[in-house]
């Protein structure tokens, strides 16, 4: 059984609280008509509620059909005897808390269908038709029939005899407890006829069972612990009950609702106690213990219930009535960069909690603890686990309320600037910032604090843009790019084509009367930063050759140095 429930995260000093609402009917919905009389009523769950109590009646808030039935954590309920036809049915849900007053919600209603035909026949459920060696003290139980409003029973020692019970109208019930034990070692014949306002079922066949030898059933037991209605019970309690004279064993049933034994179904014990582990916190549980011996099971043993501790939640605060959960809310990202220039990298827990643990996954896939403080030093890539916890201190019970998440560590580094492509628009600038490195980068202009964007391209940047910034998303650093030096002055061609057609055969700066500088020398580099040509500004220019070999078509960078010692940087394309 799952131990903890995570819904809304809360901690002292940094609580997240949400007010509770009453549930709505989801089937049938409020106001629905022509609803089947054997419908199952369902409602939406309310986080943090210990359990639900349902009442059903024919008036607003009425209980004449079902009176305050505790259904535990179930959000559905099927009336055992169905619903009256052609009737407005009112459903009242009460939210049950063991640490504060119950909340009675406003009634919701629907109207049932109009049954216009008699019901079908029913069948025995206990004993079943044909059973043998049935205890002489047995009760007769049968199944509900849709639309039935009552049942007539005949019981005898011969077919149709009725010498034990003859045509008895037992009303709208599903069992009959004979006034005296059946004769032993005898075949017993049972006739059951359902009826409603439209008539009785027809051609219903008799069923029978055969009793065993005279024997005495054991009586029911009394549960010692937890007591009926006890609250604040631990999550692994000792279940203990009184011994019963004549019992050879005990059948134990435990469920989170009165109807389904989802914790323990027909556990057989010869002792009078057992531990049950891993109950959910803030929940209601139902126990039924049935003694048995060779004669059969004890008859009519009822259920008791108890409520578990609040634990980690979710639960409603007794003073505010708001939903609280003690498991920390985790905000650590799923991927973290390990800065190559900062090894080891220290990671600090970003969340408020009482304690922390950090784990690294080893080669076998196991997680090995590497720190039990708020900080951890990481020196290599891999898969890690982060855990934060608070402590729940219920009376007589303490639990660690933990949350954990896995994250991946990847290598990252501060960017290396390659340059920028800057094009003058009218108005503004188009700027492409060029960088390399193993990091995950984002880009900004003129403000180191951003805003940053994932794209390295800016269209229509202001004409006075002077600086670009490249920031590693994993926190490995920010580098600055001087945009001004990459603004291409007039006279530096964007490309040349040394293909022998006499056009654009050489790349060279073309001075103009608008120039405010005089060049002294030009350096040309390939895209990897290797110097391929030193060029005098008075020469014919570069023909795309290096050491007698044609250079490949690509982008090339230039750095033109003025007579004042200033540099003008840009790039151009060599094409064929």
Say if CB 21 and CB 46 are below 8 A apart.
yes
* pLDDT for position 343: 85
Shared-domain flag, residues 103 and 23: yes
Q: Which of 367, 390, 410 represents a domain boundary (last residue)?
A: 410
177 within domain boundaries: no
Q: What gap in Å lies between CA 428 and CA 420, rounded to an integer? A: 16
Shared-domain flag, residues 526 and 546: yes
* pLDDT for position 418: 85
Q: Which of 467, 486, 505 represents a domain boundary (last residue)?
A: 486
29-47 burial code (b ≥16 CB/10 A, e <16): eeeeeebebbbebbbeebb
Please write down the HEC assignment for all residues of 392-460: EEECCEEEEEEEEEEEEEEEECCCEEEEEEEEECCCCEEEEEEEECCCCEEEEECCCCCCCECCCEEEE
Q: What gap in Å lies between CA 538 and CA 495, rounded to an integer? A: 19
Q: What gap in Å lies between CA 311 and CA 315, rounded to an integer? A: 9
126 within domain boundaries: no
Shared-domain flag, residues 22 and 107: yes
pTM: 0.65
Strands ordered across the beta sheet of 76-77: 25-27, 41-43, 76-77
User: What CATH number is given to the structural domain containing 66?
Assistant: 2.60.40.10
Q: What gap in Å lies between CA 301 and CA 380, rounded to an integer? A: 63
Shared-domain flag, residues 90 and 29: yes
- Per-run averaged pLDDT (10 residues), the chain, 576 residues: 29 38 94 97 93 96 96 95 97 91 94 97 97 93 97 97 96 95 96 97 97 91 95 91 96 94 94 89 94 90 93 81 87 90 89 96 96 95 96 78 94 88 82 90 96 95 92 90 79 90 92 85 92 95 94 92 87 90
Could you tell me the two tokens for 101? 């007053």
Say if CB 414 and CB 437 are below 8 A apart.
yes
Shared-domain flag, residues 478 and 510: no
146 within domain boundaries: no
Domain that holds residue 398: 335-410
* pLDDT for position 17: 37
* pLDDT for position 20: 56
Shared-domain flag, residues 404 and 478: no
553 within domain boundaries: yes
526 within domain boundaries: yes
Spell out the long-range contacts of 433-437 with Cβ–Cβ below 8 A and sequence spacing 24 or more.
433/457, 433/458, 433/468, 433/470, 433/481, 435/470, 435/479, 435/481, 437/413, 437/472
287 within domain boundaries: no
Q: Which of 57, 78, 111 represents a domain boundary (last residue)?
A: 111
Say if CB 367 and CB 389 are below 8 A apart.
no
Could you tell me the two tokens for 71? 């259904």
182 within domain boundaries: no
204-243 burial code (b ≥16 CB/10 A, e <16): beebbbbbbeebebbebbebeebeeebebbbbebebebee
Total domains, the chain: 4
* pLDDT for position 1: 27
* pLDDT for position 12: 34
Question: Using CB atoms within 10 A of its CB, is residue 169 exposed (0-12), middle (13-18) or buried (19+)?
Answer: exposed
361 within domain boundaries: yes
User: What CATH number is given to the structural domain containing 528?
Assistant: 2.60.40
Q: What gap in Å lies between CA 291 and CA 287, rounded to an integer? A: 13
Q: What gap in Å lies between CA 271 and CA 342, rounded to an integer? A: 64
* pLDDT for position 396: 65
* pLDDT for position 7: 28
* Non-local CB neighbours of 335 within 8 Å, separated by 6+ positions: 407, 408, 409, 410
């Amino acid at each position: 059984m799952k131990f903890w429930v995570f819904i809304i995260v809360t901690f002292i000093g940094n609580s997240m609280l949400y007010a509770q609402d009453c549930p709505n009917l989801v089937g049938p919905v409020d106001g629905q008509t022509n609803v089947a009389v054997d419908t199952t009523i369902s409602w939406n769950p309310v986080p943090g509620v210990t359990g639900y109590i349902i009442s059903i009646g024919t008036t607003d808030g009425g209980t004449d059909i079902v009176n305050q039935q505790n259904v535990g954590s179930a959000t559905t309920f099927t009336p055992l005897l169905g619903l009256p036809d052609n009737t407005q049915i009112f459903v009242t849900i009460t939210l049950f808390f063991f640490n504060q007053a119950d909340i009675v919600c406003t009634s919701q209603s629907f109207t049932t269908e109009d049954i216009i035909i008699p019901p079908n026949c029913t069948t025995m459920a206990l004993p079943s038709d044909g059973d043998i060696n049935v205890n002489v003290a047995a009760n007769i139980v049968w199944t509900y029939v849709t639309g039935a409003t009552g049942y007539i029973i005949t019981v005898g020692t011969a077919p149709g005899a009725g010498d034990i019970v003859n045509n008895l109208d037992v009303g709208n019930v599903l069992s009959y407890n004979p006034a005296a034990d059946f004769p032993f070692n005898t075949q017993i014949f049972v006739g059951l006829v359902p009826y409603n306002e439209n008539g009785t079922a027809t051609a219903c066949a008799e069923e029978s069972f055969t009793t065993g030898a005279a024997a005495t059933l054991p009586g029911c037991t009394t549960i010692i612990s937890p007591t009926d209605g006890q609250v604040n019970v631990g999550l692994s309690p000792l279940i203990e009950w009184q011994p019963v004279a004549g019992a050879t064993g005990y059948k134990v049933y435990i469920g989170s609702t009165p109807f389904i034994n989802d914790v323990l179904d027909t556990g057989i014990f010869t002792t009078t106690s057992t531990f049950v582990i891993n109950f959910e916190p803030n929940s209601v549980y139902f126990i039924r213990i049935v003694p048995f011996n060779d004669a059969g099971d004890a008859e009519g043993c009822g259920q008791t219930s108890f409520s578990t501790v609040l634990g980690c939640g979710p639960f409603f605060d007794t003073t505010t009535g708001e939903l609280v959960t003690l498991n920390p809310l985790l905000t650590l990202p799923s991927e973290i960069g390990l800065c190559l220039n900062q090894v080891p990298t220290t990671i600090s827990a970003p969340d408020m909690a009482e304690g922390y643990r950090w784990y690294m996954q080893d080669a076998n896939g196991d997680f090995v603890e590497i720190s039990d403080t708020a900080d951890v030093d990481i020196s290599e890539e891999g898969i890690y686990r982060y855990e934060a916890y608070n402590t729940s201190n219920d009376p007589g019970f303490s639990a660690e309320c933990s949350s954990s998440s896995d994250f991946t560590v990847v290598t990252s580094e501060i960017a290396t600037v390659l340059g920028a492509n800057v094009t003058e628009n009218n108005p503004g600038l188009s700027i492409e910032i060029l960088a390399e490195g193993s990091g995950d980068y984002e880009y900004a202009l003129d403000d180191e604090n951003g805003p940053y964007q994932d794209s390295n391209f800016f269209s229509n940047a202001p004409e006075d843009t002077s600086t670009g910034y490249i920031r590693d998303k994993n926190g490995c650093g920010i580098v600055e790019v001087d945009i001004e030096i990459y603004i291409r002055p007039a006279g530096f061609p964007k490309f040349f084509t040394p293909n022998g057609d006499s056009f654009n055969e050489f790349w060279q700066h073309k001075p103009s009367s608008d120039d405010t500088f005089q060049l002294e020398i030009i350096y040309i580099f390939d895209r990897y930063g290797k110097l391929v040509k030193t060029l005098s500004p008075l020469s014919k220019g570069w023909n795309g050759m290096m050491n007698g070999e044609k250079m490949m078509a690509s982008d090339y960078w230039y750095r033109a140095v003025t007579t004042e010692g200033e540099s003008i940087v840009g790039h151009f394309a060599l094409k064929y």
